[in-house]
Structure 1
Amino acid sequence: MTEQEAASLTGTERSPASTRHLAGTSPAARRVAGARRNPSVVGYEQTAPHWLRVIAGMSWRLLVVTAAIVVVFYATSRVQLVFIAVFIALVFTAVLRPVVDALARIMPRGLATAFALLLGVLVLVGMLTYVAYSVAGQWESLSRQFTDGIDDIISFLEDGPLPVTITNDQINDWINEGRDWVVQHGGEVASQAAASAGSVVQVFGALALATFCSVFFLARGREIWLWFLNQLPARTRESWQTAAGAGWYTFSGYTRGTVIIALSDGALAFIVLLLLKVPLAAPLAVLVLIGAFIPLIGAPAAMIIAMVVALAANGPLSALLVGVAIALIGQFEGHILQPLVMGRQVSLHPVVIALVVTGGTITAGILGAVISVPLVAVAWAVFSKLRRLDPPLEITDVPDPAEMTPVEE
């Protein structure tokens, strides 16, 4: 088609001079020139500013990504029990994988998996048994200490140096009001207890399903992953392998590191509580251990409970010492154990962790606080592995704003 025919079809007229001018140009230049005269030819919009077109493009892409994330969260909420079970199974797999690999050198892998799971169950059951035995053995003396401690606290509130005094009659009135509230809301309390009983059944169901999945992840994890890769197109398998390697490296490092840090925190708390002669040192140490799995929330909660026990049993000074000691353990964890154990496997800024934990807690409660950090750490590791960065700037490449001169028009 000649340029004159194209001009007649597009509704534009070209002068002989412009035709001669475009005769020696490239096809791309001719298309740009034609678009400027008639934007409908190639869909080039000249009326909107460039910055507005860029923002609009970014906006609709962000909307699509946000919609995809919302769909994933909605689908997960519909099968929450399955998601929790798979997550726990991955945690079990990350913790027990080194043990299975070591035992698989001297026995079949299936038998090694059975031994590793049995060892994990024995450790968990032994820990809980020791806690129950400690509580049962100290229950009588602890009850007496609690009674004396509560009397001391009441005396301190009545006659202490506080600017506000609380009398025994006021405390009795509060107890009576609490009793009346329980009587009036007995039906709601019973329904919540029934719902909690159902939640306990769901927890055991999730643990059973997680154990079942862990057996196959530990014994046949490589075959399962190979089957998944074979379902993908060949051109995308390398990217999936790269992303999965980065994600599993981060998740397993975070999980094993958290277990090591939790055991260290529990051991240090147990030693401190024994030295301070706080009753139920072992159960409180286990509580500190469990609290280490909940970022930013678990450690303060465990510290408050330990301080309450120390306050009721040994007085305010003991409670203050327990709080200071557990706070120091938290600082030791954050500044020494975390960098030493985690290393570069989980590279999230503390501000990001705080925001992620807060968002996870608002979205899914305690469960969200527990799983939000490893999920975001895995997502960031995969993104960092797959993205392509331009060479970073050096400090010498950035001019000092004070020395910059305005651009002359």
Structure 2
Amino acid sequence: MPQTKAFKFGYAILLIFLIIWVGTKIDFIFQPVVALVQTLFSPFLVAGILYYLFRPLVNYLESRKVRRTLSILLIYTVFGGLLTLLVYSLGPILQRQVNSLVDNAPFLVENARVKIQQLQQNEWVNRFQENSNFNWDELSTEASAYLSSSLTNIGTNIARFIGVVTSIITIFVTVPFILYYMLKEGEKAPQQVLRLLPPLQRENGKKILSDLDGALSSYIQGQVFVSICVGIMLYIGYLIIGIEYSLLLAIIAMFTNVIPFVGPIIAIIPALIVAVLESPTMVVKVLVVMVIAQQLEGNVISPQVMGRSLSIHPLTIISILLVAGSLGGLLGLILAVPVYAVMKVVVQNTYRLWMLRKERDIENDILS
């Protein structure tokens, strides 16, 4: 049997594929593991994000001679108070806008149908329709049917709605406990991992874990802060121009802005739909507000907050998002960049260690 490195490498790949193939034939064994991961993924994901947001505050209070447990409880109290104040002040407005959207849904669907019919009378649209297989009647019929069925499903699918509410309540109940132990003992986790490594490799392992922690920390903290700033700017802008559902649209924009590059485009679509149904002037106003907010975010806020901490080329990010979106949907878009940042750190450090080992082997060969 050949003993070359290429043959051993190919043999290892075939062995991995064989293990994967056997695993697909006995997938029933892994179903409990999959169910466990699916159950724990959301609470630990939310707790992990909050951990990187709250950890600097806990460390600061601890540096001021405040016990870590007391620091965590103090932050919980302040955060709970701010959250209660936010819900108390904005909750009624959001509830009113959501109720208004649900009540006006049939009117909005009919208004959209009328707008499409009016658009059909446009001379340029008629020329485009004559020179292509595009059919506005089919489009308007299918769009109206889709919207109507979606609204009907929202109102009638009570079981799914209850399931979603239950999942959200479970996350809200479990996250504070998970976060508490993360904040209290999270600094000890790297030490436990390093103990698994040989003594000579612990220094390199410590550097890898530090780089991973720094990449995740800078990305999560910066992205959350930037998204909150964008949401506030858009809410103020929407209030100034007087568009309906201003708070609801700003909240949607704030959450979608966590997706690099694609998020702002997704955020503007609901606002443009509402603006189109209102007036052409409102469309222009929404575009102006969105352009101003994105210019401030791209040229002022992001450079100061995010900088170039991840050092990832924009074209690379776009390619990652295209692949992640097709594979994992919305969740894939959100997690694509931080996962890539972690993998990049691992690959860079692995390559660095491999080169050091290669140089050491060459030196040993020379000395011998």
CA offsets 1:129-150 (integer angstroms, 9 cap, x no match): 4433224566899878x96996
Q: Which residue of 1 aligns with 2:312?
A: 348
Residues in 1 aligned to 2:196 and 2:256: alpha-carbon distance in whole angstroms: 40
Q: Offset of 1:91 from its aligned partner?
A: 0.9
Q: Which residue of 1 aligns with 2:74?
A: 115
Which of 89, 92, 95 does residue 47 from structure 2 map onto?
Answer: 89
Q: Which residue of 1 aligns with 2:122?
A: 161
Residues in 2 aligned to 1:173 and 1:370: alpha-carbon distance in whole angstroms: 30
Q: Which residue of 1 aligns with 2:366?
A: none
Equivalent residues in 2 for 1:282-293 (5 A)?
Answer: 282-293=247-258
Equivalent residues in 2 for 1:381-396 (5 A)?
Answer: 381-388=345-352
Letter in 2 for 1:345: S
Q: Does 1:360 align with 2:320?
A: no
SS in 2 for 1:343: coil
Q: Offset of 1:331 from its aligned partner?
A: 4.8
SS in 2 for 1:242: helix
Q: Compared with structure 1, are the counterparts of its residues 58 and 350 closer, same or farther at alpha carbon in structure 2 (3 Å cutoff)?
A: farther
TM-score, normalised relative to structure 2: 0.72
Residues in 2 aligned to 1:80 and 1:173: alpha-carbon distance in whole angstroms: 35
Q: Which structure carries more helix by proportion?
A: 2
Equivalent residues in 2 for 1:41-120 (5 A)?
Answer: 79-104=37-62, 105-120=64-79
Which of 177, 182, 186 does residue 212 from structure 1 map onto?
Answer: 177
Q: Compared with structure 1, are the counterparts of its residues 125 and 372 closer, same or farther at alpha carbon in structure 2 (3 Å cutoff)?
A: farther
Q: Offset of 1:249 from its aligned partner?
A: 0.3
Q: Offset of 1:154 from its aligned partner?
A: 2.4
The alignment's C-alpha RMSD in Å is 4.4
Q: Offset of 1:79 from its aligned partner?
A: 0.9
Q: Does 1:267 align with 2:232?
A: yes
- Could you tell me whether the CA contact under 8 Å between 1:158 and 1:167 is conserved in 2? no
CA offsets 1:192-230 (integer angstroms, 9 cap, x no match): 652343243233323433322211111222234333433
Equivalent residues in 2 for 1:294-309 (5 A)?
Answer: 294-309=259-274
Q: Which residue of 2 aligns with 1:371?
A: 335
What are structure 1's unaligned runs of at least 5 residues?
Answer: 1-39, 46-52, 391-409
CA offsets 1:27-79 (integer angstroms, 9 cap, x no match): xxxxxxxxxxxxx8xx578xxxxxxx85x6665566678899999xx866761
- Could you tell me whether the CA contact under 8 Å between 1:96 and 1:117 is conserved in 2? no
Q: Which residue of 2 aligns with 1:395?
A: none
Q: Which residue of 2 aligns with 1:197?
A: 162
SS in 2 for 1:290: helix
Residues in 1 aligned to 2:327 and 2:314: alpha-carbon distance in whole angstroms: 20
Q: Compared with structure 1, are the counterparts of its residues 260 and 177 closer, same or farther at alpha carbon in structure 2 (3 Å cutoff)?
A: closer
Q: What is the identity percentage for the equivalent residue pairs of Structure 1 and Structure 2?
A: 21
CA offsets 1:344-380 (integer angstroms, 9 cap, x no match): 3212222222232233333332222212211111221
Q: Does 1:278 align with 2:243?
A: yes
Q: Offset of 1:172 from its aligned partner?
A: 9.3
Q: Offset of 1:90 from its aligned partner?
A: 1.6
Residues in 2 aligned to 1:217 and 1:182: alpha-carbon distance in whole angstroms: 40
TM-score, normalised relative to structure 1: 0.66
- Could you tell me whether the CA contact under 8 Å between 1:76 and 1:83 is conserved in 2? no
Residues in 1 aligned to 2:175 and 2:200: alpha-carbon distance in whole angstroms: 33
Q: Which moved more, 1:87-96 or 1:124-133?
A: 124-133
What are structure 2's unaligned runs of at least 5 residues?
Answer: 24-29, 130-134, 356-368
Larger Rg: 1
The number of aligned residues is: 334
